[in-house]
């Protein structure tokens, strides 16, 4: 069993008619869950950009969290504080999508917690139908992209196959890239390379890329 951490990413599409003050309250409620014992790192933020080859998909916010184990993620999911936040926030959201994967890098200590101002890009991969037996091969190709991104200013890169398919909308892999700041992310042009990589492009039904900046937490923790 890997000792690597669990990456947990949830995308939200907030309803268009929700007041900005209610959106802020929703974000603060979720960020307050950073105080739970099971959580190593948790932040929610608005998306800076959203790109998808599937026109029907559209999201406005992202939650990124990290856990020591699948067990801790499960404990977080059923924790009364989390359940209460989900219940209050649910009427504000039009759509939700979530993926979980075991980080293929051994992130420990301070590196688990992303500094405010860090720029993060997450790429989600949906494979064409019938390619389930090629997941390992495609994941190895994504890992090669991972190594290339480290030469373009990335300070952390993790990828993996999703182990929670229930809310993933058919997406089966994800790649999370952390840069020191927005300037470094914009200079990397990483999403261009991922979309056009010759080793994986023919296997993909859909690619979705989101960018966000880790905020300073304003909720009371």
CA–CA gap between residue 221 and residue 217 (Å, rounded): 8
CA–CA gap between residue 36 and residue 79 (Å, rounded): 9
Domains assigned to the chain:
6-214 (3.30.70.100)
pLDDT tens sequence across 204-219 = 889 999 999 999 864 3
Phi first, then psi, for residue 131 (nearest 5°) are -105, 20
CA–CA gap between residue 149 and residue 147 (Å, rounded): 5
pTM for the predicted model, two decimal places: 0.91
pLDDT tens sequence across 95-147 = 999 999 999 776 766 689 999 999 999 999 998 888 877 788 888 888 777 77
pLDDT at 69 > cutoff 80? yes
Q: Which residue has the higher pLDDT, 192 or 131?
A: 131
Predicted confidence at residue 220, as pLDDT, reads: 37
Rounded to the nearest 10 degrees, the angle between the axes of helix 80-89 and helix 20-31 is: 170
Mean pLDDT for 174-201 is 79
């Amino acid at each position: 069993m890997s000792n690597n951490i669990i990456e947990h990413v949830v995308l939200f599409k907030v309803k268009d008619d929700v007041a900005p003050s209610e959106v802020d309250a929703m974000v603060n409620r979720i960020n307050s869950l950073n105080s739970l014992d099971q959580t190593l790192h948790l932040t929610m933020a608005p998306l800076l950009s959203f790109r998808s080859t599937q026109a029907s998909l559209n999201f406005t916010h992202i939650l990124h969290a990290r856990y020591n184990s699948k067990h801790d993620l499960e404990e977080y999911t059923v924790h009364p504080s989390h359940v209460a936040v989900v219940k209050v926030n649910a009427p504000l959201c039009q759509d939700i999508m979530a993926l979980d994967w075991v980080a293929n890098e051994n992130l420990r200590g301070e590196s688990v917690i992303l500094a405010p101002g860090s720029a993060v890009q997450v790429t989600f991969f949906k494979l064409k139908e019938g390619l389930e037996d090629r997941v390992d091969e495609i994941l190895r190709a994504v890992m090669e992209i991972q190594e290339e991104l480290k030469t373009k200013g990335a300070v952390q890169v993790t990828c993996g196959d999703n182990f929670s398919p229930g809310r993933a909308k058919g997406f089966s892999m994800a790649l999370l890239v952390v840069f020191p700041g927005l300037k470094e992310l914009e200079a990397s042009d990483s999403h261009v390379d991922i979309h056009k990589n010759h080793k994986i492009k023919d296997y993909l039904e859909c690619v979705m890329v989101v960018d966000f900046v880790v905020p300073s937490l304003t909720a009371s923790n």
